[in-house]
Chains A and B, each alone.
Chain A
Protein backbone atom coordinates (compact mmCIF):
# COMPACT_ATOMS: atom_id res chain seq x y z
CA UNK A 1 0.00 0.00 0.00
CA UNK A 2 2.57 2.48 1.19
CA UNK A 3 4.99 1.23 -1.43
CA UNK A 4 2.65 2.08 -4.26
CA UNK A 5 1.72 5.39 -2.69
CA UNK A 6 5.36 6.50 -2.67
CA UNK A 7 5.81 5.56 -6.29
CA UNK A 8 2.55 7.07 -7.48
CA UNK A 9 2.83 10.31 -5.55
CA UNK A 10 6.49 10.77 -6.47
CA UNK A 11 5.79 10.09 -10.11
CA UNK A 12 2.90 12.56 -10.09
CA UNK A 13 5.03 15.33 -8.65
CA UNK A 14 7.83 14.64 -11.14
CA UNK A 15 5.35 14.63 -14.03
CA UNK A 16 3.89 17.96 -12.94
CA UNK A 17 7.37 19.50 -12.96
CA UNK A 18 8.23 17.94 -16.31
CA UNK A 19 5.02 19.27 -17.85
CA UNK A 20 5.72 22.71 -16.40
CA UNK A 21 9.23 22.70 -17.84
CA UNK A 22 8.27 21.44 -21.27
CA UNK A 23 5.26 23.69 -21.73
CA UNK A 24 6.66 26.79 -20.01
CA UNK A 25 6.69 28.71 -23.29
CA UNK A 26 2.96 28.11 -23.82
CA UNK A 27 1.50 28.28 -20.35
CA UNK A 28 3.60 31.04 -18.82
CA UNK A 29 1.42 34.16 -18.86
CA UNK A 30 4.36 36.56 -19.24
CA UNK A 31 7.91 36.59 -20.54
CA UNK A 32 10.18 35.60 -17.62
CA UNK A 33 12.89 38.17 -18.43
CA UNK A 34 11.53 40.99 -20.57
CA UNK A 35 8.08 41.59 -19.09
CA UNK A 36 9.50 43.67 -16.28
CA UNK A 37 7.14 46.37 -15.12
CA UNK A 38 8.73 48.50 -12.43
CA UNK A 39 5.43 50.28 -11.77
CA UNK A 40 4.03 46.94 -10.63
CA UNK A 41 6.93 45.51 -8.65
CA UNK A 42 6.42 43.52 -5.45
CA UNK A 43 2.72 43.05 -6.08
CA UNK A 44 1.05 40.33 -3.99
CA UNK A 45 -0.65 37.42 -5.77
CA UNK A 46 -3.64 38.54 -7.80
CA UNK A 47 -5.60 37.49 -10.90
CA UNK A 48 -3.11 39.21 -13.20
CA UNK A 49 -0.14 37.71 -11.41
CA UNK A 50 -1.18 34.45 -9.75
CA UNK A 51 2.00 34.22 -7.67
CA UNK A 52 2.68 37.96 -7.47
CA UNK A 53 5.56 39.91 -8.95
CA UNK A 54 9.19 40.24 -7.93
CA UNK A 55 11.36 43.26 -7.21
CA UNK A 56 11.57 44.19 -10.88
CA UNK A 57 7.89 43.68 -11.56
CA UNK A 58 8.35 40.36 -13.31
CA UNK A 59 5.71 37.64 -13.00
CA UNK A 60 6.82 35.08 -10.38
CA UNK A 61 4.71 32.29 -11.88
CA UNK A 62 6.32 32.68 -15.30
CA UNK A 63 9.78 32.71 -13.80
CA UNK A 64 9.06 29.64 -11.68
CA UNK A 65 7.82 27.79 -14.78
CA UNK A 66 10.95 28.68 -16.77
CA UNK A 67 13.10 27.87 -13.75
CA UNK A 68 11.83 24.30 -13.95
CA UNK A 69 13.70 23.95 -17.25
CA UNK A 70 17.02 24.80 -15.65
CA UNK A 71 16.46 22.57 -12.63
CA UNK A 72 15.34 19.56 -14.63
CA UNK A 73 18.11 19.93 -17.21
CA UNK A 74 20.75 20.18 -14.51
CA UNK A 75 19.24 17.33 -12.49
CA UNK A 76 18.83 14.89 -15.35
CA UNK A 77 21.98 15.60 -17.34
CA UNK A 78 24.37 15.85 -14.41
CA UNK A 79 22.99 12.68 -12.87
CA UNK A 80 23.30 10.89 -16.20
CA UNK A 81 26.99 11.81 -16.30
CA UNK A 82 27.42 10.64 -12.69
CA UNK A 83 25.69 7.35 -13.39
CA UNK A 84 27.83 6.69 -16.47
CA UNK A 85 31.08 7.46 -14.64
CA UNK A 86 30.09 5.56 -11.51
CA UNK A 87 28.85 2.50 -13.36
CA UNK A 88 31.84 2.33 -15.71
CA UNK A 89 34.35 2.68 -12.88
CA UNK A 90 32.48 0.44 -10.46
CA UNK A 91 31.79 -2.43 -12.85
CA UNK A 92 35.32 -2.46 -14.29
CA UNK A 93 36.87 -2.25 -10.81
CA UNK A 94 34.75 -5.10 -9.49
CA UNK A 95 35.28 -7.20 -12.60
CA UNK A 96 39.03 -6.80 -13.09
CA UNK A 97 40.11 -6.33 -9.48
CA UNK A 98 43.83 -5.84 -8.86
CA UNK A 99 45.52 -2.45 -9.08
CA UNK A 100 42.63 -0.96 -11.04
CA UNK A 101 40.26 -1.86 -8.25
CA UNK A 102 42.61 -0.31 -5.67
CA UNK A 103 42.88 2.86 -7.72
CA UNK A 104 39.13 3.22 -8.20
CA UNK A 105 38.55 2.49 -4.54
CA UNK A 106 41.04 5.14 -3.50
CA UNK A 107 39.48 7.67 -5.84
CA UNK A 108 36.02 6.88 -4.48
CA UNK A 109 37.24 7.47 -0.94
CA UNK A 110 38.72 10.81 -1.97
CA UNK A 111 35.45 11.81 -3.65
CA UNK A 112 33.52 10.86 -0.53
CA UNK A 113 35.82 12.96 1.63
CA UNK A 114 35.24 16.18 -0.32
CA UNK A 115 31.65 17.30 0.20
CA UNK A 116 30.17 17.41 -3.30
CA UNK A 117 28.82 20.96 -2.87
CA UNK A 118 32.30 22.17 -1.92
CA UNK A 119 33.85 20.34 -4.86
CA UNK A 120 31.22 21.69 -7.24
CA UNK A 121 31.79 25.21 -5.92
CA UNK A 122 35.52 24.86 -6.60
CA UNK A 123 34.87 23.66 -10.16
CA UNK A 124 32.37 26.48 -10.75
CA UNK A 125 35.03 28.93 -9.59
CA UNK A 126 37.32 27.62 -12.32
CA UNK A 127 34.77 27.26 -15.12
CA UNK A 128 32.73 30.37 -14.38
CA UNK A 129 28.94 30.56 -14.00
CA UNK A 130 26.46 29.17 -16.51
CA UNK A 131 24.53 26.06 -17.44
CA UNK A 132 27.37 24.09 -19.13
CA UNK A 133 29.65 24.64 -16.13
CA UNK A 134 26.90 23.48 -13.78
CA UNK A 135 26.40 20.28 -15.75
CA UNK A 136 30.12 19.53 -15.56
CA UNK A 137 30.56 20.57 -11.93
CA UNK A 138 27.61 18.52 -10.68
CA UNK A 139 28.17 15.69 -13.16
CA UNK A 140 31.72 15.01 -11.99
CA UNK A 141 31.26 15.22 -8.24
CA UNK A 142 28.55 12.80 -7.23
CA UNK A 143 29.34 9.40 -8.70
CA UNK A 144 30.91 7.73 -5.66
CA UNK A 145 27.78 5.96 -4.36
CA UNK A 146 26.91 4.64 -7.81
CA UNK A 147 30.48 3.41 -8.13
CA UNK A 148 30.38 1.66 -4.77
CA UNK A 149 27.09 -0.11 -5.47
CA UNK A 150 28.13 -1.06 -9.00
CA UNK A 151 31.41 -2.44 -7.71
CA UNK A 152 29.95 -4.51 -4.90
CA UNK A 153 27.16 -5.88 -7.10
CA UNK A 154 29.70 -6.82 -9.76
CA UNK A 155 31.86 -8.56 -7.17
CA UNK A 156 28.99 -10.78 -6.12
CA UNK A 157 27.85 -11.40 -9.70
CA UNK A 158 31.15 -12.24 -11.28
CA UNK A 159 31.49 -15.67 -9.69
CA UNK A 160 27.95 -16.74 -10.43
CA UNK A 161 27.24 -19.54 -12.86
CA UNK A 162 25.90 -17.53 -15.76
CA UNK A 163 28.89 -15.19 -15.80
CA UNK A 164 31.33 -18.07 -15.63
CA UNK A 165 29.41 -19.84 -18.38
CA UNK A 166 29.71 -16.76 -20.57
CA UNK A 167 33.41 -16.66 -19.86
CA UNK A 168 33.81 -20.35 -20.67
CA UNK A 169 31.91 -19.78 -23.90
CA UNK A 170 34.64 -17.36 -24.92
CA UNK A 171 32.87 -14.03 -24.55
CA UNK A 172 35.19 -11.06 -24.25
CA UNK A 173 35.43 -9.21 -20.94
CA UNK A 174 33.76 -6.13 -22.40
CA UNK A 175 30.96 -8.26 -23.75
CA UNK A 176 30.41 -10.04 -20.43
CA UNK A 177 30.28 -6.77 -18.53
CA UNK A 178 27.80 -5.33 -21.01
CA UNK A 179 25.48 -8.27 -21.52
CA UNK A 180 25.72 -10.26 -18.28
CA UNK A 181 26.57 -7.83 -15.49
CA UNK A 182 25.13 -4.50 -16.54
CA UNK A 183 21.50 -5.62 -16.87
CA UNK A 184 21.68 -7.05 -13.35
CA UNK A 185 22.88 -3.88 -11.67
CA UNK A 186 20.66 -1.40 -13.48
CA UNK A 187 18.05 -1.52 -10.71
CA UNK A 188 20.20 -0.19 -7.85
CA UNK A 189 21.97 2.23 -10.19
CA UNK A 190 18.59 3.62 -11.23
CA UNK A 191 17.54 4.06 -7.60
CA UNK A 192 20.68 6.01 -6.74
CA UNK A 193 20.32 8.07 -9.92
CA UNK A 194 16.73 9.01 -9.06
CA UNK A 195 17.70 10.10 -5.55
CA UNK A 196 20.73 11.85 -7.07
CA UNK A 197 18.54 13.98 -9.33
CA UNK A 198 16.91 15.45 -6.25
CA UNK A 199 20.35 16.13 -4.81
CA UNK A 200 21.48 17.81 -8.03
CA UNK A 201 18.38 20.03 -8.09
CA UNK A 202 19.19 21.12 -4.53
CA UNK A 203 22.84 21.70 -5.42
CA UNK A 204 21.96 23.78 -8.47
CA UNK A 205 19.67 25.93 -6.37
CA UNK A 206 22.38 26.35 -3.72
CA UNK A 207 25.09 27.27 -6.25
CA UNK A 208 22.80 29.71 -8.07
CA UNK A 209 21.79 31.16 -4.71
CA UNK A 210 25.49 31.76 -3.98
CA UNK A 211 25.83 33.51 -7.33
CA UNK A 212 28.10 30.99 -9.05
CA UNK A 213 25.39 28.97 -10.84
CA UNK A 214 22.87 30.39 -13.29
CA UNK A 215 23.35 34.13 -13.64
CA UNK A 216 20.41 36.54 -13.70
CA UNK A 217 18.38 37.63 -15.58
CA UNK A 218 17.90 34.03 -16.70
CA UNK A 219 15.52 32.59 -14.10
CA UNK A 220 16.60 29.70 -11.91
CA UNK A 221 14.91 28.83 -8.63
CA UNK A 222 18.17 29.43 -6.81
CA UNK A 223 18.93 32.89 -8.19
CA UNK A 224 15.28 33.94 -7.79
CA UNK A 225 15.75 33.30 -4.09
CA UNK A 226 18.91 35.43 -4.02
CA UNK A 227 16.95 38.41 -5.32
CA UNK A 228 13.85 37.68 -3.25
CA UNK A 229 15.80 37.36 -0.04
CA UNK A 230 16.34 41.12 0.06
CA UNK A 231 12.58 41.65 -0.24
CA UNK A 232 11.49 39.10 2.31
CA UNK A 233 9.82 41.78 4.45
CA UNK A 234 7.83 43.42 1.68
CA UNK A 235 7.33 40.60 -0.82
CA UNK A 236 7.54 37.22 0.94
CA UNK A 237 5.71 35.48 -1.95
CA UNK A 238 8.74 36.05 -4.17
CA UNK A 239 10.70 33.84 -1.75
CA UNK A 240 8.00 31.32 -0.95
CA UNK A 241 7.14 30.07 -4.44
CA UNK A 242 10.58 29.35 -5.93
CA UNK A 243 11.48 27.47 -2.72
CA UNK A 244 8.22 25.55 -2.87
CA UNK A 245 9.05 24.60 -6.45
CA UNK A 246 12.45 23.23 -5.40
CA UNK A 247 10.86 21.37 -2.51
CA UNK A 248 8.17 19.80 -4.70
CA UNK A 249 10.66 18.68 -7.32
CA UNK A 250 13.13 17.19 -4.88
CA UNK A 251 10.34 15.53 -2.90
CA UNK A 252 9.03 13.99 -6.12
CA UNK A 253 12.38 12.48 -7.05
CA UNK A 254 13.06 11.30 -3.49
CA UNK A 255 9.68 9.57 -3.22
CA UNK A 256 10.17 8.04 -6.64
CA UNK A 257 13.63 6.80 -5.65
CA UNK A 258 12.36 5.38 -2.36
CA UNK A 259 9.46 3.71 -4.13
CA UNK A 260 11.75 2.18 -6.75
CA UNK A 261 14.10 0.89 -4.07
CA UNK A 262 11.31 -0.74 -2.12
CA UNK A 263 10.03 -2.30 -5.32
CA UNK A 264 13.42 -3.64 -6.39
CA UNK A 265 14.69 -4.73 -2.99
CA UNK A 266 12.94 -7.91 -1.86
CA UNK A 267 14.48 -7.65 1.61
CA UNK A 268 12.70 -4.36 2.23
CA UNK A 269 9.48 -5.74 0.86
CA UNK A 270 9.33 -8.76 3.12
CA UNK A 271 10.12 -6.59 6.11
CA UNK A 272 7.28 -4.25 5.33
CA UNK A 273 4.81 -7.04 4.81
Chain B
Protein backbone atom coordinates (compact mmCIF):
# COMPACT_ATOMS: atom_id res chain seq x y z
CA UNK B 1 0.00 0.00 0.00
CA UNK B 2 2.85 2.36 0.93
CA UNK B 3 4.59 1.57 -2.36
CA UNK B 4 1.37 2.34 -4.21
CA UNK B 5 1.08 5.76 -2.55
CA UNK B 6 4.74 6.42 -3.29
CA UNK B 7 4.20 5.71 -6.99
CA UNK B 8 1.32 8.17 -7.06
CA UNK B 9 2.99 11.02 -5.14
CA UNK B 10 6.26 10.71 -7.08
CA UNK B 11 4.21 11.11 -10.24
CA UNK B 12 5.59 8.04 -11.99
CA UNK B 13 5.99 8.88 -15.72
CA UNK B 14 4.51 5.63 -16.98
CA UNK B 15 1.56 5.96 -14.64
CA UNK B 16 0.93 9.55 -15.78
CA UNK B 17 1.04 8.52 -19.43
CA UNK B 18 -1.49 5.74 -18.86
CA UNK B 19 -3.74 8.06 -16.87
CA UNK B 20 -3.67 10.74 -19.57
CA UNK B 21 -4.44 8.18 -22.26
CA UNK B 22 -7.40 6.93 -20.23
CA UNK B 23 -8.69 10.45 -19.85
CA UNK B 24 -8.18 11.28 -23.53
CA UNK B 25 -9.96 8.14 -24.75
CA UNK B 26 -12.92 8.44 -22.38
CA UNK B 27 -13.42 12.20 -22.74
CA UNK B 28 -13.30 11.93 -26.53
CA UNK B 29 -15.80 9.08 -26.41
CA UNK B 30 -17.96 11.11 -24.03
CA UNK B 31 -18.05 14.17 -26.29
CA UNK B 32 -18.92 12.06 -29.35
CA UNK B 33 -21.53 10.11 -27.40
CA UNK B 34 -23.15 13.32 -26.11
CA UNK B 35 -23.28 14.73 -29.64
CA UNK B 36 -25.23 11.62 -30.67
CA UNK B 37 -27.24 10.88 -27.52
CA UNK B 38 -28.54 14.33 -26.52
CA UNK B 39 -30.15 15.26 -29.86
CA UNK B 40 -31.49 11.70 -30.06
CA UNK B 41 -33.02 12.01 -26.57
CA UNK B 42 -34.50 15.42 -27.43
CA UNK B 43 -35.94 14.08 -30.67
CA UNK B 44 -37.52 11.15 -28.81
CA UNK B 45 -39.05 13.64 -26.37
CA UNK B 46 -40.60 16.04 -28.89
CA UNK B 47 -41.34 14.00 -31.98
CA UNK B 48 -43.99 11.37 -32.44
CA UNK B 49 -43.13 8.75 -35.02
CA UNK B 50 -44.00 5.15 -35.66
CA UNK B 51 -41.06 3.41 -33.98
CA UNK B 52 -40.61 5.91 -31.15
CA UNK B 53 -41.69 3.65 -28.28
CA UNK B 54 -39.72 0.76 -29.69
CA UNK B 55 -36.65 2.99 -29.99
CA UNK B 56 -36.99 4.10 -26.35
CA UNK B 57 -37.40 0.50 -25.20
CA UNK B 58 -34.38 -0.52 -27.26
CA UNK B 59 -32.24 2.25 -25.80
CA UNK B 60 -33.24 1.24 -22.29
CA UNK B 61 -32.40 -2.37 -23.07
CA UNK B 62 -29.04 -1.39 -24.56
CA UNK B 63 -28.04 0.30 -21.29
CA UNK B 64 -27.22 -3.20 -20.08
CA UNK B 65 -25.19 -4.03 -23.18
CA UNK B 66 -22.29 -6.37 -22.15
CA UNK B 67 -19.06 -4.46 -22.95
CA UNK B 68 -17.26 -7.65 -23.90
CA UNK B 69 -19.82 -8.33 -26.61
CA UNK B 70 -19.50 -4.74 -27.87
CA UNK B 71 -15.74 -5.24 -27.94
CA UNK B 72 -16.13 -8.46 -29.88
CA UNK B 73 -18.46 -6.90 -32.45
CA UNK B 74 -16.23 -3.83 -32.91
CA UNK B 75 -13.25 -6.21 -33.22
CA UNK B 76 -14.99 -8.15 -36.00
CA UNK B 77 -15.89 -4.95 -37.84
CA UNK B 78 -12.38 -3.48 -37.54
CA UNK B 79 -10.35 -6.66 -38.07
CA UNK B 80 -8.54 -7.06 -41.40
CA UNK B 81 -11.26 -9.35 -42.76
CA UNK B 82 -14.05 -7.07 -41.44
CA UNK B 83 -15.90 -4.35 -43.39
CA UNK B 84 -13.74 -1.56 -41.90
CA UNK B 85 -10.48 -3.53 -41.81
CA UNK B 86 -8.90 -1.32 -44.47
CA UNK B 87 -8.98 1.62 -42.06
CA UNK B 88 -6.39 -0.10 -39.85
CA UNK B 89 -8.07 1.04 -36.64
CA UNK B 90 -7.86 -2.17 -34.64
CA UNK B 91 -5.55 -1.92 -31.59
CA UNK B 92 -5.57 1.88 -31.69
CA UNK B 93 -7.10 4.40 -29.26
CA UNK B 94 -9.66 5.19 -32.00
CA UNK B 95 -11.00 1.64 -31.81
CA UNK B 96 -11.28 2.02 -28.04
CA UNK B 97 -13.19 5.29 -28.50
CA UNK B 98 -15.57 3.60 -30.95
CA UNK B 99 -16.27 0.80 -28.47
CA UNK B 100 -16.83 3.24 -25.61
CA UNK B 101 -19.16 5.40 -27.71
CA UNK B 102 -21.30 2.34 -28.51
CA UNK B 103 -21.42 1.41 -24.83
CA UNK B 104 -22.28 4.84 -23.41
CA UNK B 105 -24.63 6.30 -26.05
CA UNK B 106 -27.66 4.24 -24.89
CA UNK B 107 -26.92 5.10 -21.26
CA UNK B 108 -26.67 8.85 -21.85
CA UNK B 109 -29.63 8.87 -24.25
CA UNK B 110 -31.89 6.98 -21.85
CA UNK B 111 -31.09 9.12 -18.81
CA UNK B 112 -31.29 12.31 -20.89
CA UNK B 113 -34.62 11.23 -22.36
CA UNK B 114 -36.13 10.89 -18.89
CA UNK B 115 -35.18 14.48 -18.02
CA UNK B 116 -36.17 15.92 -21.39
CA UNK B 117 -39.50 14.11 -21.38
CA UNK B 118 -40.44 15.72 -18.07
CA UNK B 119 -39.35 19.14 -19.30
CA UNK B 120 -41.24 18.65 -22.55
CA UNK B 121 -44.43 17.92 -20.60
CA UNK B 122 -43.90 21.26 -18.85
CA UNK B 123 -43.08 23.23 -22.01
CA UNK B 124 -45.32 21.46 -24.52
CA UNK B 125 -48.26 23.86 -24.63
CA UNK B 126 -46.07 26.97 -24.60
CA UNK B 127 -43.76 25.89 -27.39
CA UNK B 128 -46.63 24.59 -29.51
CA UNK B 129 -48.48 27.90 -29.09
CA UNK B 130 -45.30 29.76 -30.09
CA UNK B 131 -45.19 27.75 -33.31
CA UNK B 132 -41.63 26.71 -32.55
CA UNK B 133 -39.88 24.42 -35.06
CA UNK B 134 -38.76 20.91 -34.08
CA UNK B 135 -35.11 21.95 -34.04
CA UNK B 136 -35.89 25.00 -31.88
CA UNK B 137 -37.85 22.78 -29.49
CA UNK B 138 -34.94 20.36 -29.18
CA UNK B 139 -32.43 23.17 -28.65
CA UNK B 140 -34.65 24.78 -26.01
CA UNK B 141 -35.07 21.52 -24.13
CA UNK B 142 -31.37 20.64 -24.22
CA UNK B 143 -30.36 24.12 -23.07
CA UNK B 144 -32.92 24.37 -20.28
CA UNK B 145 -32.23 20.84 -19.04
CA UNK B 146 -28.47 21.20 -19.32
CA UNK B 147 -27.82 20.60 -15.64
CA UNK B 148 -29.86 17.42 -15.61
CA UNK B 149 -28.07 16.39 -18.79
CA UNK B 150 -24.74 16.81 -17.03
CA UNK B 151 -25.79 13.97 -14.78
CA UNK B 152 -26.41 11.83 -17.84
CA UNK B 153 -23.00 12.76 -19.21
CA UNK B 154 -21.35 11.98 -15.88
CA UNK B 155 -23.00 8.57 -15.80
CA UNK B 156 -21.59 7.99 -19.28
CA UNK B 157 -18.15 9.11 -18.16
CA UNK B 158 -18.29 6.80 -15.17
CA UNK B 159 -19.20 3.85 -17.35
CA UNK B 160 -16.50 4.71 -19.90
CA UNK B 161 -13.59 5.37 -17.58
CA UNK B 162 -14.20 2.17 -15.64
CA UNK B 163 -14.72 -0.01 -18.69
CA UNK B 164 -12.24 -2.82 -19.30
CA UNK B 165 -13.72 -5.69 -21.35
CA UNK B 166 -14.35 -3.98 -24.68
CA UNK B 167 -11.23 -1.82 -24.77
CA UNK B 168 -9.08 -4.78 -23.83
CA UNK B 169 -10.38 -6.62 -26.91
CA UNK B 170 -10.23 -3.77 -29.43
CA UNK B 171 -7.23 -1.95 -27.91
CA UNK B 172 -5.09 -4.96 -27.13
CA UNK B 173 -3.55 -3.36 -24.01
CA UNK B 174 -0.39 -2.46 -25.95
CA UNK B 175 2.27 -0.69 -23.91
CA UNK B 176 2.76 2.97 -24.91
CA UNK B 177 -0.11 2.71 -27.38
CA UNK B 178 -3.44 1.49 -26.04
CA UNK B 179 -2.78 0.71 -22.41
CA UNK B 180 -5.22 2.58 -20.17
CA UNK B 181 -5.80 2.52 -16.42
CA UNK B 182 -8.32 -0.32 -16.33
CA UNK B 183 -6.43 -2.63 -18.67
CA UNK B 184 -3.18 -1.84 -16.87
CA UNK B 185 -4.78 -2.69 -13.53
CA UNK B 186 -5.93 -6.03 -14.95
CA UNK B 187 -2.47 -6.71 -16.34
CA UNK B 188 -0.53 -5.74 -13.21
CA UNK B 189 -2.87 -7.72 -10.98
CA UNK B 190 -2.28 -10.76 -13.21
CA UNK B 191 1.46 -10.28 -12.87
CA UNK B 192 1.21 -9.98 -9.10
CA UNK B 193 2.34 -6.31 -9.16
CA UNK B 194 -0.22 -5.26 -6.62
CA UNK B 195 1.49 -1.99 -5.66
CA UNK B 196 1.36 -0.66 -9.21
CA UNK B 197 -2.17 -2.02 -9.72
CA UNK B 198 -3.28 -0.28 -6.55
CA UNK B 199 -1.55 2.95 -7.56
CA UNK B 200 -3.35 2.81 -10.90
CA UNK B 201 -6.57 2.21 -9.01
CA UNK B 202 -6.01 5.32 -6.89
CA UNK B 203 -5.40 7.37 -10.01
CA UNK B 204 -8.54 5.96 -11.63
CA UNK B 205 -10.64 6.91 -8.62
CA UNK B 206 -9.03 10.37 -8.47
CA UNK B 207 -9.72 10.93 -12.17
CA UNK B 208 -13.35 9.87 -11.88
CA UNK B 209 -13.92 12.10 -8.84
CA UNK B 210 -11.95 14.99 -10.33
CA UNK B 211 -13.85 15.03 -13.59
CA UNK B 212 -17.18 14.75 -11.77
CA UNK B 213 -16.33 17.65 -9.47
CA UNK B 214 -15.00 19.74 -12.37
CA UNK B 215 -18.18 19.22 -14.40
CA UNK B 216 -20.34 20.07 -11.39
CA UNK B 217 -18.29 23.20 -10.82
CA UNK B 218 -18.45 24.24 -14.48
CA UNK B 219 -22.18 23.53 -14.58
CA UNK B 220 -22.73 25.46 -11.33
CA UNK B 221 -25.04 22.73 -10.14
CA UNK B 222 -26.76 23.42 -6.83
CA UNK B 223 -25.69 27.07 -6.91
CA UNK B 224 -28.21 29.91 -6.48
CA UNK B 225 -31.25 27.64 -6.71
CA UNK B 226 -30.30 26.63 -10.21
CA UNK B 227 -31.65 23.50 -11.82
A binds B: no
Report A's interface with B, CB cutoff 8 A.
none
